[in-house]
Structures are given as structure tokens and as C-alpha cells.
Amino acid sequence: MDEFKHPFIVGKHKLRLSKLEQLAKDLALKLNATVKIESQEGLIITFESKKSIYNGRLIQRNSSLTPQFKYELILEEFRLNIYEDFIEVLFRFDVDYFHLYDLSIKDELKKIDTFHRCFAILNIFGVKDIYIGDFNEFRNGKK
């Protein structure tokens, strides 16, 4: 049996990444969510839809190491790192690449509530294709 490996899960989004406040408002409306942000001035601003089903925190990221990394949306079960062109999914629990891959091959990921919710959110963000992999693939020269 192979050792435990953390997967990466990414997909190309169709979000309009403008100002932090506008993105938070758009996310609250699209997700039926309460989205809190902390402004650079230290103010906490909350955008809330009438029938919120999700609670999240949106953080603006400015990184000289990865300038494409723009925002982080923290939800209850997972975190979405939002880059200029794609979203990276990070779960708040350990997920093994091989188990995840096996479930995806059997088309059983959608049967698990957490993954179902995650994929529904990604779909709302315009993600059509999801890519699952592990970082060791890059060391072996695989595409």
C-alpha cells in the first residue's frame, strides 16, 4: 500500500476578482452566505444574504512569493484559496490522495456531503473541471 499523500484539488473559476468588499458581497449573494471580511483599517464588515446557509471569512492575500494568490475564503469544512485564474481546495481534515482518487474514479465523491457541498460551491463559481493530483507527480516528470 502506498503511503499517505495530501492531494491538491484545483479548478479554473469564473469569478470577477475586483475589490475585497465587492467580492465578499458577490460571494454572499451567490452562496446564500454570511461572509465577513476585515478591512485594512481593521474594520470587520459583514455581508449577509437573507437565507444564509454558509458562514465564511474572506481574507485578501498579498504575497510576493505567489502574486497570483488573491483571496482566501474560509468556510466550516474547507478553505478555498482563490488565485487569479483558479481555485485550490483545502479540507480542514486529512484527505488521502489515493482514497480521494479511488472515490473519484468510482464517481462516489458526490455521495459524501462535504465533497458534495464543496463541488456545489465550485460549480457556483464557474468551475467546470476539477483536477485532483499530488505533488509527487511533478517530481516524476508526469504531466
pLDDT, tens only, 125-134: 999 998 888 7
Task: State how far the Cα of 84 lies from the Cα of 72, in Å rounded to an integer.
Answer: 12
The pLDDT score that the predictor gives to residue 137 is 54
74 has pLDDT over 60: yes
41 has pLDDT over 70: yes
12 has pLDDT over 80: yes
> Which amino acid, residue 45?
I
Any residues with CB less than 8 A from the CB of 111 and at least 6 apart, and which?
Answer: none
Mean pLDDT of 84-112: 88
Task: For the chain, give the percent of residues with pLDDT over 70.
Answer: 92
Let me know: does 129 contact 11? Beta carbons within 8 Å.
yes
141 has pLDDT over 70: no
- Residue that has been written with the C-alpha cell 483571496 in this structure: 71
The dihedrals phi and psi of 83, each to the nearest 5 degrees, come to: -100, 175
Let me know: does 114 contact 78? Beta carbons within 8 Å.
yes
Give the pTM. 0.84
Q: What is the average pLDDT value for the chain, to the nearest integer?
A: 87
Q: Residue 36 — pLDDT band, cuts 50, 70, 90?
A: very high
